[in-house]
Amino acid sequence: MELAARLAQGWYTQGTYAFLDAELTRFNESVMVPTAEGFVPQVFNRTGNVPAFAPEHLLTLWAARDLGENLTLAAGIRYVGNQFVAEDNVYQIDGALTLDCGLTYRQGPGLLRINLKNLTGSEYETRGFGAASVIPAAPFSFKATLGYSL
């Protein structure tokens, strides 16, 4: 679901929410399992489990303000709910809430945009490898974009 509104002259807001009730309806996974004779394939039935990286809740809320002089300032929050890192559903990474902001300067067909992500430096995981290792998110990141429209 998405809602957008112009609250007053120069003020814009946008909010999105997604609810996902994902389930593997029929899924068998072949996994190499160590034995005394070496690794042998074993099939595991993952039917009924939640797919990897399918959070139940996603939410964003943004507000933007035209500052004049071709400048726009925006700020928002993003929430991603808990999610499993593999189809076996053994390990789950916690949900995370981040605060982001951006500044855009437009001049004719050109633009310069600066985005700051995770302003609070929240520590959280984003993805995983296999069933038990995760990738930590960047505590803070900066991105600059130059654009030109023809």
The answer to whether residues 118 and 140 touch, using CB atoms and an 8 Å cutoff, is yes
Count other Cβ atoms within 10 Å, centred on residue 130.
10
Q: What is the pLDDT of residues 6-59, one digit of tens each?
A: 989 999 999 999 999 999 999 999 999 999 999 999 999 999 999 999 999 999
Q: Residue 61's pLDDT band (boundaries 50, 70, 90)?
A: very high
Please determine, for residue 131, whether its predicted confidence score (pLDDT) is greater than 80. no
DSSP 30-78: EEEEEETTEEEEEEEE-TTSPPTT--SEEEEEEEEEEEETTEEEEEEEE
Instruction: Flag whether pLDDT at 143 surpasses 90.
Output: yes
State yes or no: pLDDT of 129 exceeds 80.
no
128, pLDDT greater than 90: no
Give the mean model confidence (pLDDT) for residues 60-65: 98
Contacts of 134 (CB under 8 A, 6+ apart): 85, 91, 93, 125, 126, 127, 128
Q: How far apart are the first and last CA of the chain?
A: 32
pLDDT at 134: 85
- Summarize the confidence of residues 124-146 as an average pLDDT: 86
- Residue 81 above 70 pLDDT? yes
> Would you state the structure tokens that stand for residue 1, as one six-digit string?
């679901």
